[in-house]
């Protein structure tokens, strides 16, 4: 049996189908519709449902049948060729676009390399291979500056219907971009032995990733960080280089998870309210700024990551408490000194009194010695002198009393 030699039409049909990624039967149906449209235009036939087009897929010969009868007019092929060509090209483009959209529909939620083609107002048009994607303003990272022909990795967010038709939406701000990059850079994540449980991101600023190991003996945090941080640095580099990425051990213990989510802050105390699903976190004064973050970013991402409402409160450190207690003790001691003298103070006062009395006694003895002529005097003379001195003192006291009376 001789081999069947396929015509140029069949070869061209298959070539178009292969290049465009379209099934050959779809191309044939498109050509049939084009031929029927050309016949209607030239001959004004309105009842299209009564007409049938037969097209030989090998030779490309076309016939128009009505009720099973061939009504193809003479020379129809030449007349309809130009019209059919235009319709065929249009239908092929539409079919190609639908095939591309169907292909990218399966890629939604994944990352893909691309190149910036042009700026369409606030939006950016990106070449992503067989199609063009659109990156709206809200899907752009505020820390990045884009330019023509720049090659980046994009996240395919979805396909959206617009006035221009269906558009493939790509993103540089979606948290899925981080997930895709970790799957690409970390084999354990790609294989499933390490799971990315939750990702909270503020594009261009900070991202927190909660990881969990599904296989014993595998360190999820260490796997994502890599030796000397090479894996996480590759992710950060793809994100523009300025975005910080925190990798956190996921835990079903809320206190432990919240404490880890507030990293890099340390020495935290977490008090949970299960009914309100809120947590009050007591933070040392020197860790307060780290726990809150710039413009509240750290605590905001921690709340997104854990699903708990987090209230940050500062607490005094032990050193501050000891200092305050010491100051209070000193103040109390000073007050006690003012209110009740100490034993040392009493002794000092007693010494001063004794010294004072001693001095007074010595002065009296000196005075008495001066008034006494000699110790060799007879006893009666000394007695008389003493009595005279006492009388003199008594007289002075009486004079003082009299002078005080009105």
pLDDT tens, 227-285? Answer: 999 999 999 999 999 999 999 999 999 999 999 999 999 999 999 999 999 999 999 99
The pTM of the whole model exceeds 0.75: no
* Letter string b/e over residues 133-144, b meaning 16 or more CB atoms within 10 A of that residue's CB: bbbbeebbbeeb
Closest CA to 130 of 162, 106, 109, 164: 106
pLDDT at 47: 57
Pick the CATH number of 111-171 from 3.20.20.70, 3.40.50.1980, 2.40.110.20, 2.40.50.140: 2.40.50.140
CATH topology classification for 8-105 = N Utilization Substance Protein A; Chain:P; domain 4 (3.30.1480)
Instruction: Return residue ranges of the chain for CATH 2.40.50.140.
Output: 111-171
Q: Please report where in the chains the tokens 């260490």 appear, as a residue.
A: 222
pLDDT at 198: 96
pLDDT at 396: 46
| Three-state DSSP state, 21 | coil
Q: Which phi and psi angles does 59 have, rounded to 5°? A: -95, -25
Instruction: Return residue ranges of the chain for CATH 3.30.1480.10.
Output: 8-105
CATH topology classification for 253-321 = GMP Synthetase; Chain A, domain 3 (3.30.300)
Q: Which two tokens stand for residue 38?
A: 């050309």
How many other CB atoms sit within 10 Å of the CB of residue 157? 20
| Strand 278-284 relative to strand 165-171, pairing | unpaired
CB 99 within 8 A of CB 18: no
What does the pLDDT average to over 287-313? Answer: 94
CB 206 within 8 A of CB 293: yes
- The residue among 382 and 127 whose pLDDT is bigger is 127
CATH topology classification for 174-250 = GMP Synthetase; Chain A, domain 3 (3.30.300)
pLDDT bracket for residue 28 (50, 70, 90): confident
Residues 183, 189: Cα–Cα separation, whole Å: 5
Instruction: Return residue ranges of the chain for CATH 3.30.300.20.
Output: 174-250, 253-321
């Amino acid at each position: 049996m001789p081999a069947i030699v396929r015509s140029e039409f069949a070869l061209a049909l298959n070539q178009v189908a292969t290049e465009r990624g379209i099934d050959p039967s779809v191309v044939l149906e498109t050509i049939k519709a084009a031929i029927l449209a050309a016949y209607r235009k030239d001959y004004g036939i309105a009842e299209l449902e009564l007409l049938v087009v037969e097209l030989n897929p090998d030779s490309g010969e076309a016939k128009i049948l009505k009720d099973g009868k061939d009504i193809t007019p003479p020379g129809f092929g030449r007349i309809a060729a130009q019209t059919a060509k235009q319709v065929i090209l249009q239908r092929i483009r539409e079919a190609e676009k639908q095939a591309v959209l169907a292909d990218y529909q399966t890629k939604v939620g994944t990352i893909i390399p691309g190149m910036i083609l042009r700026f369409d107002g606030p939006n950016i048009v990106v070449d992503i291979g067989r199609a063009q994607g659109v990156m709206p303003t809200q899907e752009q990272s505020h820390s990045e500056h884009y330019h023509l022909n720049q090659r980046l990795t994009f996240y395919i967010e979805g396909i959206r219907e617009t006035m221009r038709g269906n558009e493939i939406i790509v993103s540089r701000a979606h948290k899925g971009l981080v997930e895709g990059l970790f799957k690409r850079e970390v084999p354990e994540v790609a294989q499933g032995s390490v799971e990315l449980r939750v990702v909270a991101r503020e594009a261009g600023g900070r991202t927190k990733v909660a990881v969990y190991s599904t296989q014993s003996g595998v360190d999820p945090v260490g796997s994502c960080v890599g030796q000397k941080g090479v894996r996480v640095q590759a992710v950060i580099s793809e994100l523009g280089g300025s975005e910080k990425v925190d990798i956190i051990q996921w835990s079903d213990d809320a206190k432990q998870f919240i404490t880890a989510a507030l990293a890099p802050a340390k020495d935290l105390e977490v008090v949970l309210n299960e009914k309100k699903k809120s947590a009050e976190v007591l933070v040392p004064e020197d860790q307060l700024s780290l726990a809150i973050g710039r413009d509240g970013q750290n605590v905001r991402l921690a709340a997104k990551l854990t699903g708990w409402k987090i209230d940050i409160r500062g607490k005094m450190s032990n050193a501050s408490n000891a200092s305050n207690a010491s100051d209070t003790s000193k103040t109390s001691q000073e007050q006690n000194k003012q209110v009740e003298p100490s034993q040392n103070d009493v002794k000092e006062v007693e010494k001063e009194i004794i010294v004072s009395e001693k001095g007074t006694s010595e002065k009296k003895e000196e005075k008495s010695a001066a008034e006494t002529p000699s110790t060799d005097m007879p006893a009666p003379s000394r007695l008389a002198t003493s009595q005279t001195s006492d009388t003199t003192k008594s007289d002075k006291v009486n004079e003082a009393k009299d002078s005080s009376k009105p």
